[in-house]
Amino acid sequence: MENRIIQITDTSMRDGEQTPGVRLGVQQKVEFARQLERLGVDVIEAGFPASSPGDFQAVQSVAQTVSACTVQALCRAMRGDIDTALLALRDAKKPCIHIFLASSPLHLQYKLKITEEEALAAVADTVAYAKKFCPCVQFSPEDATRSDFDFLCRMIETALSAGADVINIPDTVGYTTPEEFSDLIRRLHDQIPALSNAIVSVHCHDDLGLAVANSLAAVGAGAARVECTVNGLGERAGNAALEEIVMALHVRKDILHACTNVNTRELVRTSRMAASLTAVAVPPGKSIVGQNAFSHESGIHQHGVLSNRETYEIMRPADIGLDKNTLILGKLSGRHAFTQRLEQLGYALDDKGIDAAFHRFKEIADKKTAVTDEDIGAIVNEYLDGLHGKYWLDSFQIQSGNHMKSMALLSLRDGDEVFTEAAPGDGPINAAFNAIDRIAGRDDIVLESYSIRAVTEGTDALGEARVKISAAGTSFSGRGVSTDIIKASIKAYINAVNKCVAAQAEEG
């Protein structure tokens, strides 16, 4: 049997950005879009243009950057949203408008407070309107897996009659099971003949840990496209993980009779870029891209792998781009070698960005015997993260000991002005964070989590600090890197505060 080609929609920059604490800047989305294009996904869902000026600008910038992939923008079933999305997608080579409207009784009654007939009228109007101006329109009946089947069919038929090219079936709250979901996809095909002329896509959440299994079950039932996110990013428990979908289809095409056009050798690089950009670490035991995915500690396993790797490895590390021969740069490395390595790692910074990253590289190279790819990724993503920051670290002094109250004296730069504050705390990190709060004039920030890890091994390892803060019910994550863990922590907190300030400025 000939293998079907399953299209991949990456929604990391839209649904993945709904991960608590994650906020991607415009340049970060552009860099990630370039990597997704190298990865070979079919569709990039770049954002929700009507949701904020920042999202509009991000979708617009991605549309201007990407040429091989379809660039998709999310819209509610509202003409205003569609007008905004069309403007953002104006320069896209392959634009697509993605309209969604809830189909389940729960959502219609309690969230939207509209009748079924009103919902159908909105679908007919907005899909037809979008189709007038855009060559591709996708429609999603939100919460499809908890919807009345007959009404779900009516809504899909309405969208198809209005001109929808893609019908996406979301398991919005991760409620369904593989058997149920495959049965739903088959029943929809049987009940709606016009579906044969459209692309059927699926979008599964991982609340019960079944997102990948449900997506693959849908593929087996005839779905031709899967929406997913790198590293399974997303709100609540996340989405179906792109790398798991792709490699399951790659390794088990003998059973699934399907594959993708994704360049699997770009998976590790894409995963690491996503983790660095979002400050959401990949768990060591994560399938495919976790650091333990190809590790063997058991003596029996080690003996087997050394004799024949297929005894305990169903994939080759090289298949996903896991390269053990990492180029090491040092303090004598020049700008040309550094720039070349940036390109190999998937970054396409402008001259200003290269200069800033190279300057930080030189600072760190003076303190480390060698700077690895992981170090360089951390340096670049720290730069991208703080590209439009309000506050920048100017200087800090810490006093701390086991018989004294910790004190921090910090100076932050805001444009041409420098602001200095001192603050006590329960330890040097807490004191530094308190000083930053004073400078920013914030007494509403709550520290939700704080962690620090070594980016690489060795006593001179680059430390990467990650924090998550919340203010007014919204979470923001921050990242900072330095060979000094206190400095890394301060930079991470400033990064999170900058995101908080920027978000609240956007809101009004």
Identify whether 127 is part of a domain.
yes
Identify whether 284 is part of a domain.
no
In order, the DSSP letters of 160-199 are HHHT-SEEEEEETTS---HHHHHHHHHHHHHH-GGGGGSE
Q: What is the DSSP letter of 371?
A: B
Q: 272 and 309 share a domain? A: no
Number of helices followed by number of strands (H, E) in the chain: 17, 16
Q: 134 and 42 share a domain? A: yes
Name the residue with tokens 């939100």.
142
Amino acid at 140: S
Question: For residues 495 and 374, what is the distance between their CA atoms, to the nearest angstrom?
Answer: 20
Identify whether 470 is part of a domain.
yes
Q: How far is CA 31 from CA 169, 199, 478, in A?
A: 29, 28, 18
Identify whether 329 is part of a domain.
no
Q: 362 and 434 share a domain? A: no
Q: 85 and 105 share a domain? A: yes
Cβ(46)–Cβ(37) below 8 Å: no
Name the residue with tokens 């999170």.
496
Within a 10 A sphere around the Cβ of 151, how many other Cβ atoms?
Answer: 17
Looking up residue 449, the CATH number of its domain turns out to be 3.30.160.270
Q: 211 and 340 share a domain? A: no
Identify whether 14 is part of a domain.
yes
Q: 32 and 175 share a domain? A: yes
Identify whether 376 is part of a domain.
yes
- Pairing type for strands 166-171 and 199-204 reads parallel
Q: 110 and 127 share a domain? A: yes
Burial level of 297, CB count in 10 A (0-12/13-18/19+)?
exposed
Cβ(250)–Cβ(319) below 8 Å: yes
> Which residues fall within 8 angstroms of residue 239, CB to CB, at 6 or more apart?
11, 15, 16, 203, 204, 205, 206, 211, 227, 228, 229, 232, 233
Q: How far is CA 157 from CA 131, 196, 201, in A?
A: 15, 12, 15
Q: 135 and 15 share a domain? A: yes
Question: For residues 482 and 480, what is the distance between their CA atoms, to the nearest angstrom?
Answer: 7
Cβ(488)–Cβ(465) below 8 Å: yes
Tokens representing residue 493 in the block:
């907190």
Q: What is the pLDDT of residue 95?
A: 98
Q: 398 and 377 share a domain? A: no
Using alpha carbons, select from 186, 231, 237 the residue that is nearest to residue 208: 237
Q: What is the pLDDT of residue 21?
A: 84
Q: What is the pLDDT of residue 262?
A: 98
Torsions phi, psi for 169 (to 5 deg): -105, 105
Bridge partners of residue 465, in order along the sequence: 452, 480
Amino acid at 342: L
Question: For residues 123 and 117, what is the distance between their CA atoms, to the nearest angstrom?
Answer: 10
Q: 301 and 267 share a domain? A: no
Looking up residue 69, the CATH number of its domain turns out to be 3.20.20.70
Q: 425 and 307 share a domain? A: no
Q: 255 and 364 share a domain? A: no
Identify whether 431 is part of a domain.
yes
Q: How far is CA 25 from CA 249, 324, 348, 488, 498, in A?
A: 32, 31, 15, 20, 11
Per-residue pLDDT of the chain (508 residues; tens, 9 = 90+): 689 999 999 999 999 999 988 888 899 999 999 999 999 999 999 999 999 999 999 999 999 999 999 999 999 999 999 999 999 999 999 999 999 999 999 999 999 999 999 999 999 999 999 999 999 999 999 999 999 999 999 999 999 999 999 999 999 999 999 999 999 999 999 999 999 999 999 999 999 999 999 999 999 999 999 999 999 999 999 999 999 999 999 999 999 999 999 999 999 999 999 988 887 889 888 999 988 877 654 454 444 545 666 666 778 888 998 865 455 678 778 888 888 888 888 888 888 889 988 988 888 888 877 787 778 888 887 788 777 688 999 999 999 998 899 999 999 999 889 999 999 999 999 999 999 999 999 999 999 999 998 876 666 678 889 899 999 888 888 888 888 999 999 999 999 999 898 888 777 6
Tokens representing residue 144 in the block:
């499809």
- The total number of structural domains in the chain stands at 4
Question: For residues 489 and 305, what is the distance between their CA atoms, to the nearest angstrom?
Answer: 40
Print the domain residue range for 375: 335-383
Q: What is the pLDDT of residue 325?
A: 47
Q: Categorise residue 21: left if φ over 0, alpha if ψ from -120 to 50, beta otherwise.
A: left
Identify whether 34 is part of a domain.
yes
